[in-house]
A and B are shown apart, each in its own frame.
Chain A
């Protein structure tokens, strides 16, 4: 086989990974198919649904529209890396308490978006939360509970 792959070094959730990938492999497929990190979901593969939201250098990014090779030298955080020392992140705890999900498939993306939304300072009101969480679709219709969870976690973060 002709040499069509390149070495890619990834820093994911504080761990180093060395992969040999075709340049066209997305970060999403690298996470799911090469590294077994399937918490990041594929809903549309076209940046339309938000299920694949991860953090790159702390900012929310769609992993399906990001090539794995693009994140060399940057830090990637996925849903698997959000809890610290076994303690759920406050946003995760709020999602559970508020029942902010049903099937759970959009949930990792919602949570990664919510963490960033609060960090960005975009969780000041329910209206603002709705707007800044609008890029993450939830077909089960957990939206009112997602807003409640983000509001709760934002208040906890501020206190």
Chain B
């Protein structure tokens, strides 16, 4: 009935700010900059009680006894929870939806497998009283020897993860006969997401209905977990998360502290707030696993790769499984006729590691993008040239065409802007006084992960529009880009669109992770808005009360909040006037991106598990975002201190729904990458298996003074194989490749190849 033209421009296609592709400022911005935005645990509830966790001080063993006597009689204490007193829960399914074992789940531990495990909790009338009483809980243990980290002599070689094996050709044989051979080991330490908002929640029960205000990257997945723990229907659990103070992968799952708070609320019959202390955020959930890789490359004397042999190891916990896919970039970045990648995981006494910005791709790129630089120096060609010489014209692993791969364009644009041609190749050949200057390059990539989403679009009687979705905005700009999508599709101003997110009562959405949200949700809003528009035009044409009824038009045009015939030969009325004339106070439509024959079971599974994610190599294409980082470092020759002084990155995220906000996310990823390269490392106490630097003064994240100007260049083109509106992933891409670009720059500056992150001064002097 209606014809909708989507404009498919390049990344700068926003002719006006409010359309998709425009540089609209964040519509949630005013609430955030005035302090009006209420984050999850900031809800002011009547009768709120405060819970504080008590954690294990050993890394391995058993709780022998918990003496709660003093805590129970401390002022204001309402309840002390231990494994013996907390109510019993059921085990919930994992994030794949795998049916769980039929056994009880206790979020407070008797068997200790890492330092910092929750063993008790105190609930009191005020936060201060809960903190004071928690310090009075006395826990005694039977301690057993712990495996503190990957380098522990007891750690062993671990478990082979066969699903990670990727092989073609004869990698070992081709390496043995290659004229140029390099082999090196690359290590990354434990790293932490460290969002500025600590994890926490408020749980409130009303009968058998639970409301949880909790920062969440996945409302429907977390609601399912709470429902399964407490044995109540999914519909009985409401997750509310209107703003999220950073997640970076860490806020996607319901965790044991959430179970403790929800148990306490149920047992007390009062709403309970529990917020982790900053130190608890280092053990209450997992950061990025420590990794070890060896990368072996065989090449000809021109630097053309003939073989890559890659072996990776990551740590996991004693009783959980986390696989950080270390061969993910290794297997696709460069073309090679022979390839082998295998991976083990090693159990250590740690909390189970988790997702942190580009899990897999990030450490994987540190290995291969350092190794290719080593190969460039081995054969004596430019590090940029060797990347072009081995450019993969198709996905070397999947043997499929790229949907789009603007990596060559990224190298060209970045090199031009950075001035790469002025680089002198010899290490220590560029200096400024006592500062050694190094220029490094590295590429990055992240797959286009896809799932499905739903959204509701409602046109109200005054002509304004509401969009509802249980997806979330943790700073990526969801509120804004969904307003732009609805505004463009419906022909209204973005100012007239109200976007409501972060409530599991709204139409459903899968996990906000893997950089998939923008592509999924703009598609869902586009479809919902298109349906609403069809309804509106349909009413205008067919309703006898409509001013357009006599026109006998086939279609009508909606623009600037007004509806008219395409030829302009009939009435021209506002959407509000039309709705009034046909006696409607609103029109609404739900849209989703699910296959048409999806069952309710499919939908539930899609939104509450990750089992329905669409492979990025589905069908004829391999879909990825790409980037190239050009980075200058200055190394003090005497002290070995490294400062990043200049960054130019060119990135292909396909079409950008809002370049202003995408650029912010890219820069944020690059800055987290600078932290990874130079600062960030969880330091393990080898006697007790504790994270020594579990706070923001000792676990160093970049500060403003650490960060230079950063220039980002979009080289993407719309990729309609990747999403409805042509975008690829933004959030995770830009961190990938930053650490190797810095390590490569440090080599250029100093002649020292640092293969062990972070690159701290003692490794250079």
Residues of A in contact with B (beta carbons under 8 Å apart): 1-2, 4, 22, 24-25, 29, 32-33, 36-46, 48-49, 51, 78-80, 82-83, 88, 92, 95-97, 99, 101-108, 111, 126, 129-131, 133-147
Contact = CB atoms under 8 A, between A and B. Distances in A.
A88 B661 contact: no
Contact of A43 (B31, B32, B198): B198
A123 B668 CA distance: 23
Interface stretch (B161-169, B488-496, B704-712): B704-712
A139 B127 contact: no
Contact of B668 (A4, A29, A46, A141): A141
Q: Which of A82, A103, A143 gathers most chain B CB within 10 Å?
A: A103
Contacts of A108: 33, 35
B664 interface: yes
B3 interface: no
Interface string B231-248: 000000000000111111
B29 interface: yes
Nearest to A136: B704
Nearest to B195: A139
Given A33-B127, A38-B35, A49-B196, A4 B75 contact: yes
B475 A102 contact: yes
A102 B665 contact: yes
A145 B28 CA distance: 17
B27 to A, nearest CB: 10
Given A45-B277, A133-B704, A141-B702, A101 B32 contact: yes
Interface of B: 25-26, 28-39, 42, 44, 75-76, 126-129, 193-198, 243-248, 275, 277-278, 474-477, 660-661, 663-665, 667-672, 695-697, 701-707, 709-710
Contact of B197 (A29, A41, A129, A147): A41
Q: Which of A29, A41, A97, A147 gathers most chain B CB within 10 Å?
A: A41
B128 A99 contact: no
A42 to B, nearest CB: 7
B667 A103 contact: no
A44 B476 contact: no
B196 A137 contact: yes
A130 B702 CA distance: 12
Contacts of B705: 130-131, 133-134
B473 to A, nearest CB: 8
B196 A143 contact: no
Given A1-B75, A103-B195, 12 more contacts: A46-B696, A80-B35, A80-B36, A95-B29, A96-B30, A103-B245, A103-B474, A105-B243, A129-B704, A133-B705, A134-B703, A141-B671
Identify the 9 closest CB pairs spanning chains A and B, nearest first. A39-B35, A102-B475, A105-B245, A104-B32, A141-B671, A141-B668, A103-B475, A79-B35, A38-B42
Contacts of B669: 141
A51 B475 contact: no
A131 B582 CA distance: 62
A144 B278 contact: no
Contacts of B702: 141, 143
A102 B33 CA distance: 11
Contacts of B198: 42-44
Contact of A142 (B126, B664, B701): B664
A44 B245 CA distance: 13
Nearest to B710: A144
B434 to A, nearest CB: 19
Contacts of B661: 99
17 contacts: A39-B34, A42-B198, A43-B197, A45-B278, A80-B35, A97-B25, A99-B664, A101-B32, A102-B664, A103-B196, A103-B197, A105-B196, A139-B195, A139-B196, A140-B196, A145-B667, A147-B704
